[in-house]
Each structure stands twice: as structure tokens, then as C-alpha cells.
Structure 1
Amino acid sequence: MDQRISFVTLAVADVAASRSFYVDGLGWTPEIEAEGVLMIRVGEHVILSLWDRREFEEEVGRIASGGDGLAPFTLAHNVATRAEVDAVLELARSLGCEAPAAEERVWGGYTGYFADPDGVRWEIAYNPGPVGQTVLP
């Protein structure tokens, strides 16, 4: 098996609300739109798939209900400068997201977070190190 990820699929409560957030709000371009699913190219070979939660469960299996708290993962969007981190967080705030100020991290980066309509946390990161540079376009 090749060492790569092709799709990141999120089971969402309302595909229309997710579309409004990602396409109308963030300005991303859909690759595929169909009943219950929205697919957006987020990298040269990576698709973010936003899938109706009910249809997701029918195909994949029951989603655990964990109560309060965050989903146990984040999605990261790396940028080339600290100023870009601040700009993306400001865009998120303009869309109604809670997006606290970014912070300097002990590993040398600068990051902040916001959540999409389903509470999925996005990390907006400036990582000046070699690994951070490999993920930039």
C-alpha cells in the first residue's frame, strides 16, 4: 500500500450548511456535488469529502456518541507566514467562528484554531521547520 491519503471524509449533520461554510464562506471550489455529499480538492491528490451523517452511517457504520468535548482529531492548513495565520483566523471570525488569537508554540511554530459547523477543528499553522515547508504548495 502506498504511503498517502486520498480522501479525508467528514460525516456532517447538514451538507448544505457545510457547503455554505466551505464554498460560500471560505471560497473553496467543489469538485463534485451530489445529494448528500460535497467533495472539494484540497491538495494535488487529496479530496475533502463532506458526507451526510445518516448516509455515512448506512455505509460505514454507527458513529459513536461521546458527549461533550471535541472530536479527537484536527485538520491542518499550513501557510507560509504568521500574518497569513492571522488573516485566515480573521476570515473564520467573519464567518461567525470562535477563533482565539494564534499563539507561538514551543516547537517554533505559530498556530490557531477554529471549528466548522460540525465542530471539526481546523489548525491554521505557520511551521518554519522542514516538515512544515514540505506541505506548502
Structure 2
Amino acid sequence: MTVPSRISIVTLGVADLARSTAFYEALGWRRRPESQPTISFFDNAGSMLALFDQSSLAEDAQLAEPPQAPARGEFRGATYAINCDSDDDVLAVLAAAEAAGARVSKPAERSPFFAGLDGYFLDPDGHAWEVAHNPDLHGLPR
């Protein structure tokens, strides 16, 4: 069997589920009815984002937590991206994320890799989200 080439759910380990859930709701993301007191699910175009207690997530995956979790703002080895329709949308999304409580770690600037803007914000647990307008990527969910 070939492994399906898709990402169905991205689960982020969080320190405070209620705080993180409130943050993503403040972004305007819709929490799914399947959410429970221990996990929050959010619709994304063609996939889902899940928030789960970091220790519980490590236990579920049968992985040891690092001795000290990365501090907010330290790189965690992965980023998540939102590709926008225009440079103006990049600016608007970064402003909305900041208004919801995110820290903008990289203000929007012209990308050296593609012909659009990109910037980054950090959620309450320091997960890095890239906000970009890459006009060369076609067929991405909107």
C-alpha cells in the first residue's frame, strides 16, 4: 500500500487548552462540534487543526517530552502556513492575528523566494504561522 499523500489533521500540543482555543476562535476559526473538554478541533480548508494538551499528546504518541519545552518564540522545528490571495491580505491577516493576541515575529516583507509578501506570527504556545502571498502556488485550499 502507498501512504496517502495528504494531511488530514495537524495537532498542536498546547500548555493551556482554553487559552489556545480562545485564541483560534478570536482569529475567526470555527470550532467543530466534535470538540471535547480535552481537545479542540477547527475546520480548515480541506483539513483540520486540533489543539491538545502537550503532555497528553506526547503520551498518546508514546514519545518523551523534552526536559524543557521550548520557550515562546523559540523555534520548534516546524511552521504552518496560510497562503493568501494578495499582499494586502497578508498585511490584514497579520494585523488580525496580532489583535487576537499573537506576537508577530516577522513583519510582512518581500520574500526572497517568491514574488509576494510573507511574515510570521506566533500563537500563545509559540507555534509559528507563516502568512504569505505566493502567487506561484496554484490549487491551494482557500
Would you say same fold, with TM above 0.5? yes
Q: 1:67 to 1:78 in 2, by over 3 A?
A: closer
Q: What amino acid maps onto 1:96 in structure 2?
A: G
1:101 aligns with 2:111: no
> Which residue of structure 2 lines up, in the alignment, with residue 81 of structure 1?
86
Aligned match of 1:9 = 11
1:67 Cα offset (Å): 4.9
Runs of 4 or more above 2 Å deviation: 63-69, 95-98
Confirm or deny: 8 A CA contact 1:36 1:55 kept in the other structure.
Answer: no
Give runs of aligned pairs for residues 1-137 of structure 1, distance below 5 A: 1-23=3-25, 25-31=26-32, 32-44=34-46, 46-60=47-61, 61-64=63-66, 65=68, 67=70, 69-99=74-104, 100-107=106-113, 108-129=115-136, 132-137=137-142
User: CA–CA distance in 2 between the matches of 1:96 and 1:55?
Assistant: 25
CA distance in 2, matches of 1:71, 1:15: 18
Q: CA deviation at 1:27?
A: 1.2
TM-score (ref. length: structure 2): 0.86
Letter in 2 for 1:35: P
Write 1 or 2 for the structure with the bigger share of helix: 1
Matches of 2:35 and 2:56 in 1, distance apart? 15
Q: Determine what percentage of the aligned residue pairs are the same residue.
A: 33
Question: What is the Cα deviation at residue 63 of structure 1?
Answer: 2.3
Alpha-carbon RMSD across the aligned residues, in angstroms, is 1.6
* Matched positions, count: 133
Residues in 1 aligned to 2:28 and 2:69: alpha-carbon distance in whole angstroms = 31
